[in-house]
């Protein structure tokens, strides 16, 4: 019985997976949405660290601040900023789709492109503003 | 609770949300609500980061101690963010982890981690704000 079941499972057809399809923009932005979401999970550890260090006292804060503003720290924060805005715009894209709008080919291609470009643009804008302020 | 005689579902499958626990849309809806909240909170969060960027320890303590809004924005962004990322990571685990036992442990770990970050960062923000 168990043997028959095992063999049946082996013979079950698999649904086509990622490598079968030609990459498209909407597919890429869907994958990017999930990856940026997972990356922001990690970025939240850094955010928590900043607040905890600030509450803990001067030494802890200097240590956190020094790490986050080091070259690797800045690269990670830049990536986190891009992940934040791309994920935010991706979320807004889903909110628009939730209303039933922009689900045709033209609409979804335009939204995917807007997400990709907007994410980069907002990242550059915020970093430019941050550097001009300090 | 008595088992409905017309149901083939076991009680445990209902408890683990695998059957009809009248909870089918909760995850999806909570995702929408937290998404909208975070979209709005991000405006305040960016403003907060702009205020804090490059500041010394004394300045940061002073900013949180002098005004109410940095604490409110930081606290809401952190707490809603932790709930949102708990939901999101849950979906990722459910999608990619097929071993039943591993999946359950990872789902629990995800809940604990998000709860820990929310509590630790939340308490830190409250402590900062109360000076």
The ipTM, to two decimals, is: 0.87
Q: Which residues of A51-74 are buried (b: 16+ CB within 10 A; e: fewer)?
A: bbbbbeeeeebeebbeebeeeeee
- Residue B3, domain member (yes or no): no
Residue percentage of chain B with pLDDT more than 90: 79
Number of domains in chain B: 1
Min Cα distance B79 → chain A (Å) is: 11
Is B39 in Cβ contact with A55 (below 8 Å)?
no
Report CB contact under 8 Å: A44, B42.
no
Is B1's pLDDT higher than 50?
A: no
Q: Which residue of A has its CA nearest to B80?
A: A44
Which of A18, A36, A44, A93 best probes binding to B when mutated, by most B CB atoms within 10 angstroms? A44
Name the pLDDT band for B19 (thresholds 50, 70, 90). Answer: low
On the 0-12 / 13-18 / 19+ scale of CB atoms within 10 A, A105 is exposed
- Name the more confident of A131 and B19: A131
Reply yes or no on whether the pLDDT at B4 is more than 70: no
- Category of B61 on φ-ψ map: left (φ > 0), alpha (ψ -120 to 50) or beta: alpha
Has residue B112 been placed in a domain? yes
- With 60 as the cut, is the pLDDT of residue B118 above it? yes
Q: Are B127 and A55 in contact (CB under 8 A)?
A: yes
For the entire predicted model, the pTM comes to 0.86
Neighbours of A6 (CB within 10 A): 10
B12 within some domain = no
Query: Whole-angstrom Cα distance, residue B78 to residue A48?
Result: 8
pLDDT in tens, A7-56: 766 777 777 777 788 889 999 999 999 999 999 999 999 999 999 999 99
Q: What is the mean pLDDT of residues A111-127?
A: 98
Residue pLDDT, tens place only, B67-91: 999 999 999 999 999 999 999 999 9
Residue A83 three-state SS: helix
Q: Which residues have CB under 8 Å from A95's CB, separation 6+?
A: B32, B35, B36, B39
Using an 8 Å CB-CB cutoff, list chain B residues near A41.
85, 88-89
The string of pLDDT tens digits covering residues A55-80 is 999 999 999 999 999 999 999 999 99
Please indicate, yes or no, if residue B122 is contained in any of the structural domains. Answer: yes
Residue A53 and residue B116: Cα distance in Å, rounded? 16
Token code pair at residue B90: 């849950």
At B49, which CATH number?
1.20.1300.10
Is there a domain that residue B9 lies in?
no
How far, in Å, CA of A63 to CA of A70, rounded?
11
Q: Structural domains in chain A?
A: 27-133 (1.20.1300.10)
Decide if A130 and B82 are in contact by the 8 Å CB cutoff: no
pLDDT mean over B31-56: 96
Closest-CA residue to B118 (of B34, B54, B26, B47): B34
**Assigned domain for B2 exists:** no
From B101's Cα to the closest Cα of chain A, the distance in A is 20
Comparing CB atoms, the residue among A61, A62, A130 nearest residue B50 is: A130
Domain coverage including residue B31: 25-129
Nearest by CB: A52 against B42, B60, B121: B121
Task: State the Cα angle at A19 between A14 and A22, rounded to 5°.
Answer: 120
pLDDT of residue A3: 56
Question: What's the gap in Å between the CA of A106 and the closest CA on chain B?
Answer: 24
What pLDDT does B16 receive? 65
Nearest to B57 among A45, A62, A129 (CB): A62
Q: What values do phi and psi take at A101, rounded to 5?
A: -85, 160
- B10, part of any domain: no
Best probe of the A interface among B51, B57, B129, by most A CBs < 10 A, is: B57
Q: Is residue B13 part of a domain?
A: no
| pLDDT value for B7 | 73
Helices B100-129/A25-56 angle, 10° precision:
50
Nearest beta carbon to residue B39 from set A41, A57, A88: A88
């Amino acid at each position: 019985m168990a043997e028959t079941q095992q063999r049946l499972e082996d013979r079950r057809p698999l649904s086509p997976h990622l490598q079968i399809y030609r990459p498209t923009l909407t597919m890429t932005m869907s994958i990017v949405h999930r990856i940026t979401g997972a990356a922001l999970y990690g970025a939240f550890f850094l955010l928590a660290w900043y607040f905890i260090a600030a509450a803990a006292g001067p030494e802890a804060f200097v240590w956190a601040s020094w790490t986050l503003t080091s070259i690797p720290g800045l690269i990670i924060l830049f990536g986190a900023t891009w992940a934040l805005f791309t994920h935010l715009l991706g979320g807004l894209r889903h909110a628009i789709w939730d209303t039933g709008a922009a689900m045709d080919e033209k609409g979804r291609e335009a939204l995917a492109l807007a997400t990709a470009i907007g994410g980069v643009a907002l990242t550059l804008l915020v970093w430019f503003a941050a550097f001009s302020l300090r | 609770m008595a088992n409905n005689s017309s149901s083939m579902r076991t009680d445990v499958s209902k408890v683990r949300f695998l059957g009809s626990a009248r909870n089918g849309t909760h995850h999806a809806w909570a995702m929408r609500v937290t998404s909208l909240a975070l979209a709005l909170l991000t405006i305040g969060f960016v403003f907060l980061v702009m205020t804090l960027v490059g500041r010394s320890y004394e300045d940061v303590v002073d900013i949180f101690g002098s005004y109410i809004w940095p604490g409110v924005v930081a606290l809401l962004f952190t707490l809603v963010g932790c709930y949102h990322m708990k939901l999101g990571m849950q979906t990722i685990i459910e999608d990619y982890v097929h071993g039943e036992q591993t999946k359950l442990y990872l789902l629990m770990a995800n809940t604990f981690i998000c709860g820990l970050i929310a509590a630790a960062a939340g308490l830190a923000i409250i402590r900062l704000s109360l000076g």
